[in-house]
Amino acid sequence: MTPPRIRVAAYVIRQRAVPELLVFDHVGMPEAGTQIPAGGVQPGEELEEAVLREVAEETGLLTATARAARLIAVEDRPHPHTAQPRRTSFFSLQAPADAPGAWEHRVHGEGDDAGLTFACRFLPLPLKEPLADGQDAWLGRVDPRWGTGR
């Protein structure tokens, strides 16, 4: 049996008049859908370190301005396209209220997304539309009012 790929995902919440979730879209790749920061854990890396690194790599939001709040859920679900096993740990993080509302970020790092440009923005919660790959499934564990019923 193939061991699962170990991943992390980040619900980065900005508290404003209404709470907002950090999401992004791939510039020029609308088929990828709206997503949250997520990606693989490097060998020897702690999960909390990995989630902060993924947020910084994919959005440019520095770890100094976001902090890991807590582990929300661990999900064992195969990749939707390859069916390869994967285990994703979802974390809740807080972003400062004065974080920008929208920006573009060129992805750095060594992953598959390196060099891509992401259009980042905060969306009000609860979400009106689902996220790609069911990434919104655990929002109700951050706050029951944000649950999506999936």
What domains are defined for the chain? 5-146 (3.90.79.10)
* pLDDT value for 127: 96
Q: What is the 3-state secondary structure (H, E, C) of 25-78?
A: EECCCHHHCCECCEEECCCCCCHHHHHHHHHHHHHCCCCCCCEEEEEEEEEECC
* pLDDT value for 65: 56
pLDDT of the chain along its 150 residues, tens only? 788 999 999 999 999 999 999 999 999 989 999 999 999 999 999 999 999 999 999 999 875 555 656 899 999 998 888 888 999 999 999 988 888 999 999 998 777 788 889 999 999 999 999 999 999 999 999 999 998 765
- pTM exceeds 0.85, yes or no: yes
